[in-house]
Homo-oligomer: A and B are copies of this chain.
Amino acid sequence: MKGIWKYKDLMELPTDLPLFSLGEGGTPLIQSKNIGPEIGINNLYFKLETANPSGSYKDRFAAFAIAEILNKKSKICLATSSGNTGAALAAYSAAAGLPCKIAIVEGAPEGKLKQMRAFGAKLFMIKGFGISSEISERVFDKLAKLAIQNHTRIQVSAFKYCPIGMKGVQSISFEIAEDMPEATNIFVPAGGGGLALAVVRGFQRWNQRQPGFKVPRIHCVQPEGNNTIAGNLRNGLDHAQPVTDAATKISGLQVANVIDGTDTLKACRDTKGNGYLVTDEEVFECQRLLAEKEGIFAEPAGAVSLAGWLKAVRSGELKPEDKAICIVTGNGFKDPPSIENLIEMNPVQYLDEKSMDAYFKVE
């Protein structure tokens, strides 16, 4: 057994959950070749969730979520997402032969929706959803009710709504614990906080089975414009807080409400993890660094963890001897506009036979 299902027994799942897989998990853990070494640090690693079948860690969620739907003999996958969760659920629904219907927030960028549509998912953009908090709440409640009527549950990648799907995400920690048990610090991007919570719970579960294993510090990194968890975690408060308007431009991390946030905050604190707030500009710069210095093609949200690591190093909170892993959550292909920004200053040059010599010499 490869991938996340090899940890099935660790996850306390319904025993009759059918094994359903598209090859999720078992992702690479690679050492920084330039970003770390250039500042004298050889203890920086990247967990490449970009290598999952649909291009993000959400495939770990979708594998278990769809297995649960199959197990309950539901006939449909209902979800809300404008990004990676939707793409993952659309892929796994297609493979499971389930219709997949996804409610999309008004104004969701078209680029993020194409992959879902390619898998045959039906997408519905609902007026006011994600814009007006009143409408959003009503739409969500209605979807949840429709889900129950359809003998299923609404799929959202959060423990609050889909604890079984989220157990799939805990497999990230199991893989790290096996590949690099000596890691001491994990940097995790947070929108609603579900990923960081899953990472903590995964390591804690590993520790239950292997009491000698030391749970690393799990740090929660958020864009300043979506400071629901990280600031309060840093400042010693015991609850997450909603933001009135998620001002960050980092797609996938614009989650204004709290959801798993308070549990995430407490869980990270349990591990002695800290909160890091980063600017959008720092994130975009880290996306560039990952591509140009490491050959890692990440979407902006996937570069947030590195931005947090840099902040921790520069502030002296992280020591050069601390073995750190940044979770790179999603593939660069996921966010075409961010790639356009990356490449703007590196145009194709047009040459002819005569002029080419000069350009192909070593500088």
- Contact A55/B333 with A356-B124, A361-B150 known, Cβ cut-off 8 Å: yes
A48-B53, A53-B296, A95-B33 known; A356 vs B118 contact (CB < 8 Å): no
Q: What is the oligomeric copy number?
A: 2
Residue A41 CB within 8 A of the other chain? no
With an 8 A cutoff between CB atoms, is A160 at the interface? no
Q: A16 near B: Cβ within 8 Å?
A: no
Chain A count of residues within 8 A CB distance of the other chain = 87
Q: Which residue of B lies closest to A345 (CB)?
A: B117
Q: Is the CB of A353 within 8 A of B51?
A: no
Taking CB atoms, residues of chain B closer than 8 Å to A293 are 94-95
B357 touches A292 (CB 8 A): no
Q: Which of A1-39 contact B (CB under 8 A)?
A: 2-3, 21-23, 26-30, 33-34
- Beta-carbon nearest neighbor of A331 in chain B: B333
Question: Does A115 interact with chain B (Cβ within 8 Å)?
Answer: yes
Of B119, B122, B361, the contact of A292 (CB 8 Å cutoff): B119
Contacts A94-B294, A297-B53 given; does A75 touch B362 at CB 8 Å: yes
- Which of A96, A118, A122, A353 gathers most chain B CB within 10 Å? A118
Contact partners of A146 in chain B: CB under 8 A: 357, 360-361
Is A142 close to B, CB under 8 A?
Answer: yes
Q: Does A84 contact B (CB under 8 A)?
A: no
Q: Is the CB of B118 within 8 A of A297?
A: yes
Chain B min CB distance to A110 (Å): 8
Q: Which residue from chain B places its CB closest to the CB of A88 in the assembled complex?
A: B295
Contact between A295 and B119 (Cβ–Cβ < 8 Å)? yes
- Taken residue by residue from 82 to 116, chain A's Cβ proximity to chain B (1 for < 8 Å, 0 otherwise) reads as 00000000111111110101011000001001110
* 13 A-B contacts (beta carbon < 8 Å): A22-B30, A23-B27, A26-B28, A76-B362, A78-B360, A91-B297, A94-B294, A95-B294, A117-B343, A119-B291, A122-B349, A127-B351, A150-B360
Other A-B pairs, 7, CB within 8 Å; known A50-B53, A127-B353: A23-B48, A53-B296, A91-B296, A91-B297, A123-B348, A124-B359, A139-B353
